[in-house]
Amino acid sequence: MKQLFLFLFAVMASVVIYAQDPTPAAKGVAYGAGTSAEGAISVNKMPSDKYSGKISGKVVEVCQEKGCWMKVEKADGEKLMVKFKDYGFFMPKNIEGKEVVLEGEAIVKEVSVKQQQHYAKDAGKSEEEIKKITQPKKETQFIAKGVLVL
């Protein structure tokens, strides 16, 4: 019985460690359900209200706490918030600057001041920058079920 307990503990510990340390971002590495580049459109061509499919773009920001969100740059300087379906996977912190393909769906959501401040803190922003966030905002978010590094 003691051996069974130790075995189960070891398995659970390895799952927790793996979940906190995703594979480093490198060309061809996939996360979540994975995806392919076939059929992906540029993030700049994605409709701003609702979209389901694949998009591609450059990662310009990633959660520095555990990789639970990232932002993809658009041509107009705006950043598309990307979250991961059911928090089922996370991104490595070294994915910033990489081109990726995301598969999932875009939704428009109102983001509270508290949530915006939380994201800013996760991104490593200064207290001064965080305090400047005082109004809720509507934004398009992409809920990815799979990510591929190009």
- H helix intervals, 24-112: none
Judge residue 123's burial from the number of C-beta atoms within 10 Å of its C-beta, 0-12 exposed, 13-18 middle, 19 or more buried: middle
Q: Which candidate, 68, 143, 71, places its Cα nearest to that of 104?
A: 143
pTM recorded for the entire structure = 0.79
pLDDT of residue 1: 53
pLDDT confidence tier of residue 21, bands split at 50, 70 and 90 = low
Residue 13 in this model has a pLDDT that exceeds 50:
no
Place of tokens 């079920």: 145
pLDDT tens, residue by residue, 82-127: 999 999 999 999 999 999 999 999 999 999 999 999 989 988 889 9
Place of tokens 């209200």: 49
pLDDT tens, residue by residue, 136-147: 999 999 999 999
Half-sphere exposure of 6 (CA within 13 A, CB side): 3
pLDDT of residue 123: 85
CATH class of 2-149: mainly beta
Output the six-digit token pair for 16: 């927790």
What DSSP character marks residue 75? T
Share of the chain above pLDDT 70, in %: 85
Q: Which candidate, 130, 125, 69, 126, places its Cα nearest to that of 96?
A: 69
Return mean pLDDT, the chain: 87
